[in-house]
Amino acid sequence: MPDRPLLIFPSPTRAGRESLPSAPARMHFPTAVRQSQRLSPKFEVLQDALEAEAVSMRTTAAGVEPEQVIVLEIVGSVENFANAVRKIHGLEWMAEWDEDEILPDDDFFRLGKDDEEDHEKAIRGRLFLVMSNQRGMSELLSLWKRYQTDPNQKFDHGLNKFRDVFRQLRDLRRWGERDRIFETGMEEYWREALEHGYDPIRFEVEFWFRADEKRRGAVFERFKATVTQVGGTCLNQCAIPQIAYHAAVVQLPPGGVQAILDQTDTRVLRSNGVMFFRPQGQCIVEPSDEFDGLRDIEAHDNRIPLREPVAALLDGLPLENHALLSGRIVVDDPDGWASSYPAEDRQHGTSMASLIVHDDLVSPA
């Protein structure tokens, strides 16, 4: 290959002029009276749920304060709402996600020229996720009642963002069972695991990250107790504060998973400390000192193939002259990485190449 190969460019064409970004869409929001009619029952549901959980915890886990993640779905945007949340004792900021395709309704819709109503075009919004305990819920309700009394009044310093959120609030609810498995592939994974007879069934649980180590520990212990009640086991947990990550590997018996899918026992799914349930991901395993690559395994077929390669492996660099691979692979290394790639670090690439060439050599099949 020449050091400086010829580059063939396409024929030039004239590009059209891109239009400047359009101004933010004008939105219609409900009146304060209408917001009160729509949302007051939802605030009551959240408060009742928290109080009911507090009663339950008094009989099962003395001293544990109930918490719940509240989802505030707004239309449009409210900048820097996280700063306002952090000023309320009992509320903790969790996350913020954009929503691009919200269906308009009679309360929220676009306004066109001359204020004509557009009930067809989708609108955009955001989800604010906030952890709340009883004190935080009381403070939130207090602000809501002040907004109902006078939607134009100024809140205390740093809290006016709540007034904007109440004006644009489309929905208010708990982070629930469907949220924890929505778009994570868990239902499909669980059904496939049952179909293939896995016993037990392992999966990953990602918790809402808490910066305080004691609170992380309390979340894990409460979840672990729930898993134990349904016959499962928490095998391990992992917390990486640098990336705000806290998760655990869990296994349940097939009956426990079937009960979740049938919705006859969803205690695990209802755990408030959980953000997502996910299929078990990839893992890193430290190789045993006693295992030296594939040295002790003999090839099933010593014949060297004569045809061209039929599969590509983009992974770690294999040992090209390994007894099981010599003459069976072609290593493409245009940048010369092999010269600085120690043999002891090639175990993974060698194993993957052997898996493709010979299948699983330790399988009894």
Burial zone of 101 (CB within 10 Å; 0-12 exposed, 13-18 middle, 19+ buried): exposed
Task: List residues bridging with 238 in a β-sheet.
Answer: 247
User: Rounded to two decimals, what is the model's pTM?
Assistant: 0.69
Q: What is the pLDDT along the chain (365 residues), one digit of tens a residue?
A: 455 555 555 666 666 655 544 455 789 999 999 999 999 999 999 999 888 888 776 655 545 678 999 999 999 999 999 999 999 999 999 999 998 889 999 999 998 887 788 888 999 999 999 999 999 999 999 999 999 999 999 998 899 999 999 999 999 999 999 999 988 999 999 999 999 999 999 999 999 999 899 999 999 999 999 999 999 999 999 999 999 999 999 999 999 999 999 999 999 999 999 999 999 765 555 555 544 545 555 545 567 777 788 888 887 888 888 878 888 888 888 888 787 888 777 888 888 888 888 887 766 55
Residues 6+ apart with CB under 8 A from 244: 209, 211
Instruction: Show the domains of the chain with their CATH numbers.
Output: 26-175 (no CATH), 179-279 (3.30.70.80), 302-365 (no CATH)
* Alpha helices (runs of H) in the chain, residue ranges in sequence order: 32-60, 81-85, 134-149, 160-168, 177-181, 186-195, 213-229, 254-262, 347-358
